[in-house]
Amino acid sequence: MEILIRNKVIQAIETLYGQGIDENQVQVQTTRKEFNGDKTVVVFPLLRISKKSAEQTAEELGNYLVETIEVIASYNIVKGFLNLVFHNRYWVNLLNKAISDPNYGFKPVTKDSEVVMIEYSSPNTNKPLHLGHIRNNLLGFSISEIMKANGNKVVKTNIVNDRGIHICKSMLAWKKLGNGETPQSSGKKGDHLVGEYYVKFDQLYKKEITALIATGLTEELAKEQAPIINEAREMLRLWEANDPATRELWSMMNTWVYAGFDETYKTLGVDFDKIYYESNTYTVGRDEVLRGVKEGIFEQMDDTSVWANLEGDGLDRKILLRSDGTSVYMTQDIGTAKIRYADFPIDHMIYVVGNEQNYHFQVLSLLLDKLGYKWGKDLYHFSYGMVELPQGRMKSREGTVVDADDLVVGMVEVARKVSEELGKLDNYSDQEKQHIYEMVALGALKYFILKVDPKKTMLFNPEESIDFNGNTGPFIQYTYARIQSVLRKAADAGITIPTEVPAVEISEKEASLIKALTEFPEAVQEAGEKHSPALVANYVYELVKEFNQFYHDVTIMNEPDEEVRKFRLLLAQTIGKTIKNGFSLLGINVPERM
């Protein structure tokens, strides 16, 4: 529609003033709520051409547009703004489209759709998931749904960092202090158990460092020479050399961790189509790097370490293989990328990884490009901001980490309390109630995180952050539940809701609700283009706020006019559907009652 208006304005300028203009000189925008109209043409930029006053130009333009565009009923002018008012039937047509399409706003995925692979989550197997991972998982899942809704084939993938010195630290501490403790014997969740030993390692390590410093060593040397860190390094060497005992311990502890992760993923409602493990990909990366050396892309030093020189690209030198021949993070990502492109016909690759890795992905992109992968330079790093606590960053060493599982449990508890106070679910079974508490708690958490622009650092205050009133997930879920309640009442009364808008007078409130509704497809598209679930969240919030006003001001079931009543039911039903679809893009479920 905007395009049509823009083209007509260009035509009008030509006809009226005999001058051609560039299309980006014509500004068409949605009319602000406080003014009367649907679309607005900004006439200021055109004054130079018309050589007339703003009012006069707008008037001439307005007349032209009313005559040439059928759906425009009238216009009004405020200062230099030409507000165009559409016929109601324009909105009714759009609403009918929204009604008839169960996947309104979503583009279909066909066999010709592009394949988008999205990597997210990517945990280390030495400690449990925390709040930062939650943001990653929620963003990753949501952007996957959004890409799907924009007509892409999506492959969700997870690369598990299951090898490296950090894993050896947990293993070593467990070996020294564990006394054979297992998740079964202790009743602890596997990832938490392993995480505890990671912390224990760090405590031992610190003690040794302190002791060494007391003997006169510098801190740097002490860190280097502490016996326990050397033991861990030795363990890594044994691991890479396929030492059976080390491998067995490693795979046992990893199994514990995976069981724990799976539980957390299930709670969060995220999943993956394909999981990669770095223990399987890092050797491929090493081979690629060595190929690079052979082809003169990288340089090998006298101590056999391999480096990429990126000074020509404005970056630094980057190590790719250590002098002992082992891989670094970058090497692994090269290997993983190669395997993935062999496994899937990927058109676009999206990495959901925190913004602390911006440099890493800049380098990765360049390296892949240098190695001859044509997709290297257009990989997309979905870079999101950190989650901070009121005290600042989360630090596991200082115990300020917010554990993912604990957080969810706490929120379900709050949801239960709120719900019990309200007492609306009193005659439901415990199982049904629990189901709703979990839905609401997760709705609150997910919405809280996803409504913020992903690029921005966000603040999370465990005491105050998660609310159930106002601009929150539960607020939106509540509205959905309310709509369903009305629809149930209608069904009980034997009313059949029509499948097309009946011929009724549409009030202003209803019209603005319809307008809000019809912006959904645009919101979905923009969220895809800008990689931002926040745009969906904010859209749904606006829609719901609009509906709640309508709901408050206008009666649905008690409306005397049968056709109007049916129209409102139909409208409410369609809003409900859109809330549900919109929230599905955020991975948030909506309850039938709450």
Partner RNA sequence: GGUCUGGUAGCUCAGCUGGAUAGAGCAACAGAUUUCUAAUCUGUAGGUCAUGGGUUCGAAUCCCAUCCGGAUCACCA
The CA distance from 414 to 437, in Å, is 9
73 binds RNA (CB under 7 A): no
Q: Which one of 183-191, 258-266, 367-375, 532-540 is the stretch in contact with RNA (CB under 7 A)? A: 532-540
Number of Cβ within a 10 Å radius of residue 461: 10
142 binds RNA (CB under 7 A): no
* Per-residue mark of binding to RNA, 368-407 (x: CB under 7 A): ------------------x------x--------------
Closest separation in Å from C-beta 547 to RNA: 9
Q: What are phi and psi of 513, to 5 degrees?
A: -65, -45
* Selected binder of RNA within 97, 294, 377, 456 (CB under 7 A): 456
* Selected binder of RNA within 107, 360, 370, 435 (CB under 7 A): 360
* Selected binder of RNA within 4, 458, 495, 504 (CB under 7 A): 458
415 binds RNA (CB under 7 A): yes
The CA distance from 345 to 262, in Å, is 27
* Selected binder of RNA within 62, 105, 140, 164 (CB under 7 A): 164
* Selected binder of RNA within 23, 79, 259, 397 (CB under 7 A): 79
484 binds RNA (CB under 7 A): yes
Distances (CA, A) of 148 to 153, 356, 371, 566: 6, 27, 30, 33
Closest separation in Å from C-beta 112 to RNA: 27
Closest separation in Å from C-beta 562 to RNA: 14
The CA distance from 575 to 164, in Å, is 50
124 binds RNA (CB under 7 A): yes
Q: Which is nearer to RNA, 81 or 382 (CB)?
A: 81
* Selected binder of RNA within 42, 115, 297, 402 (CB under 7 A): 42
34 binds RNA (CB under 7 A): yes
433 binds RNA (CB under 7 A): no
Query: Under a CB-based contact definition with an 8 Å cutoff, are residues 277 and 257 in contact?
Result: no
518 binds RNA (CB under 7 A): no
Q: Which is nearer to RNA, 95 or 415 (CB)?
A: 415
53 binds RNA (CB under 7 A): no
* Selected binder of RNA within 105, 132, 474, 528 (CB under 7 A): 474
Nearest to 536 by CA among 446, 436, 439, 404: 446
* Selected binder of RNA within 313, 356, 561, 563 (CB under 7 A): 356
Distances (CA, A) of 122 to 275, 446, 591: 9, 19, 31
* Selected binder of RNA within 7, 11, 27, 573 (CB under 7 A): 27
Angle between helices 562-584 and 533-553 (to 10 degrees): 160
What secondary structure letter does DSSP report for 43? -
Helix (H) or strand (E) holding 274: strand 274-277
310 binds RNA (CB under 7 A): no
Query: Under a CB-based contact definition with an 8 Å cutoff, are residues 29 and 39 in contact?
Result: yes
Q: Which is nearer to RNA, 145 or 333 (CB)?
A: 333
329 binds RNA (CB under 7 A): yes
Distances (CA, A) of 522 to 515, 543, 577: 12, 13, 16
* Selected binder of RNA within 5, 129, 155, 535 (CB under 7 A): 535
The per-residue DSSP string of 516-547 comes to: HHHTHHHHHHHHHHTT-HHHHHHHHHHHHHHH
* Selected binder of RNA within 83, 254, 279, 336 (CB under 7 A): 83
Query: Under a CB-based contact definition with an 8 Å cutoff, are residues 209 and 226 in contact?
Result: yes
The CA distance from 46 to 54, in Å, is 9
Q: Which is nearer to RNA, 83 or 518 (CB)?
A: 83
